[in-house]
Structure 1
Amino acid sequence: MPNALIATAPDFSQPIAVLKHCHDRIRKQLETLQNLLGHVPQHGNDAQAQQAAHSVMRYFNQAAPHHHADEEVDLLPMLTMTASGEDAALLQKLMPEILAEHHQMDSLWQALNLQLAPIADGAPAMPASQLSAQDVQQFSAIYSAHMEKEETWIAPMAKRLFNAQQMQQLGSAMQQRRGITP
């Protein structure tokens, strides 16, 4: 009997579920960023703040770029080749928005990454070096709307249109991108 107390990540044989799992992890990291906004002014760059900043930086510097590449290099091009009719029209509308949002999020992340570095390093907290609430709110808002768009339109379309071979191809590409051998 599997242990239901331990949540496990889907494997790459379910690539759309992996992408959704990534979104869930992004939501947790965005929550951590929000928590840091209140924590650092009260407690400074203490051990908890350092650990939280490291966690957010690790995710958005390593995992998030893989996730964006999964969509840009594999998922969206595969959907473009497969979709027709209303699906193709919707994809033609959404794809430029999704790609622009990726660039916008990447740009915002660069600013946040610089703000998180002194926190992660345990530098003495100074008002000028604290995390910008405006940057965190903007980053979180764009990411949240972006993920909702993908979960509402893109993931269901892929699940409906992709055959088993295409799902396997997508999963394999995602696995290789992360340096994981089957």
Structure 2
Amino acid sequence: MPNALISTAPDFSQPIAVLKHCHDRIRKQLETLQNLLDHLPQHGNDAQAQQAAHSIMRYFNQAAPHHHADEEVDLLPMLSVTAIGEDAAVLQKLMPEIMAEHQQMDGLWHTLNLQLAPIADGATATPAGQLSPQDVQQFSAVYSAHMEKEETWIAPMAKRLFSAQQMQQLGSAMQQRRGIPA
């Protein structure tokens, strides 16, 4: 009997739910990033700060690129061949924006990753000055607006338009990308 007290991730038979779950994890990492920014001036680069930096870096260096590839390589191209009429018009407007936002977030992440590395490695020289509040705010704002756009427009469109076979194809591609056996 499954334990109802333990929250589990959806499986790849529900690829849109997996993408939403990724967004929820991104939101948690953005919250941790903000918490780290608040933590450093008071506590310095202690074990908690190092652990938080490691967690953030692990997510955005490993899981986030898979998530972006899910959208760029599979979800959006599949939608572009399926959508017609108003859906196609909405998609034609949003696809370039989403792709540009992915590039913008990748650039912002590169900057933050360089700032987080010394914190994760336990550097003691002015750790509070290593993490830019402006960079954290910009990264969080761009990511949050981006996820809102996808959850408002892209996910509902895919749920509405994709057949069971297309959902299975998307889920299989996502699972394979992560090296998870079928």
Global fold match (TM > 0.5): yes
Q: Percent identity?
A: 88
Report which stretch shifted further, 99-108 or 119-128: 119-128
Task: Report whether the alignment pairs 1:124 with 2:124.
Answer: yes
Task: Write the deviation string for residues 5-30 of structure 1: whole angstroms up to 9, x where unpaired.
Answer: 10000000000000000000000000
Q: Which residue of 2 aligns with 1:89?
A: 89
Unmatched 5+ stretches in structure 2? none
SS of match in other structure, 1:99: helix
Deviating above 4 A after TM superposition, structure 1's stretches of 4 or more consecutive aligned residues are: none
Q: How far apart, CA to CA, are the structure 2 residues paired with 1:129 and 1:110? A: 17
Contact 2:74–2:173 (Cα < 8 Å) also in 1: yes
Contact 1:12–1:171 (Cα < 8 Å) also in 2: yes
Could you tell me which amino acid in structure 1 is paired with residue 16 of structure 2?
Answer: I
Could you tell me which amino acid in structure 2 is paired with residue 3 of structure 1?
Answer: N
Matches within 5 A, 1:63-74: 63-74=63-74
TM-score (normalizing by structure 1): 0.98
Matches within 5 A, 1:7-46: 7-46=7-46
Q: How far apart, CA to CA, are the structure 1 residues paired with 2:121 and 2:25? A: 23
How far did 1:130 drift?
1.7
Contact 2:40–2:127 (Cα < 8 Å) also in 1: no
How far did 1:2 drift?
2.5
Q: How far apart, CA to CA, are the structure 1 residues paired with 2:80 and 2:36? A: 39
Task: Write the deviation string for residues 135-158 of structure 1: whole angstroms up to 9, x where unpaired.
Answer: 000000000000000000000000
> Number of aligned pairs?
182
Q: How far apart, CA to CA, are the structure 1 residues paired with 2:152 and 2:39? A: 33
How far did 1:128 drift?
7.8
Could you tell me which amino acid in structure 2 is paired with residue 158 of structure 1?
Answer: A
Q: Which residue of 2 aligns with 1:109?
A: 109
Q: Which residue of 1 aligns with 2:150?
A: 150
Could you tell me which amino acid in structure 1 is paired with residue 21 of structure 2?
Answer: H
Contact 1:115–1:129 (Cα < 8 Å) also in 2: no
* C-alpha RMSD over aligned residues: 1.0
Q: How far apart, CA to CA, are the structure 2 residues paired with 1:158 and 1:92? A: 14
Task: Write the deviation string for residues 25-74 of structure 1: whole angstroms up to 9, x where unpaired.
Answer: 00000000000111011111100000000000000000000000000000
